[in-house]
Amino acid sequence: MNTLDILVECGGWDEKLIVPLAQRAVVATLHHMQLEPDDCEVTVMACDDARIAVLNAEFRGKPVATNVLSWPAQRLAPPAEGGVPPLPEKGFDGMLELGDIALSFETCTREAMEASKPVADHLTHLIVHGTLHLLGYDHITDGDAALMERIEVEILGNLGLDDPYTADITITGAPN
């Protein structure tokens, strides 16, 4: 992938885990969506509950920690509920600036432990989820949620991971 910036903001994160994991999840998602990863720009911020609570309050009006947040660079809403969003448009430099994703260490780790799942599997799911948000997918309506979940399950299956929706983990962050 040409541009994947990973910012590690707190000491709980293991850079040897999060960097290749984020790379793998973002690239798998982009390939699945028939986008060339070398043409895309994504930033992943690995932070803590305190930082993500501030971001959640600022951008969503919810002053609580959450597992993942995303900020799409382009509004790519589907034309109708359950529909496929349009592809992002390239910038003047030929790159697709997709946006930013933030993950909270404490919340992600706690959720994985509560679900008896490997932390790496849960993080992979959340990064796939966040990347799909950057591409215009959402889960506000039932039709949109069904489509997004199906795509997530397909991508994770291609990575050899189980269906995350068979466990009781809720993805609480949403795009702005």
List binding-site positions: 129, 133, 139
Rounded Cα gap, residues 142 and 57, in angstroms: 25
The DSSP bridge partners found for residue 99 are 42, 72
Going by the annotation, the residues of the binding site for Zn(2+) are 129, 133, 139
Q: Reduce the DSSP state of residue 35 to 3 states and report it.
A: coil
Rounded Cα gap, residues 163 and 128, in angstroms: 13
DSSP state of 34: T
16: Cβ contacts below 8 Å, ≥ 6 apart: none
Sheet holding 40-47, edge to edge: 3-8, 40-47, 96-104, 68-72
**Residue 172: which H helix or E strand, with range?**
none
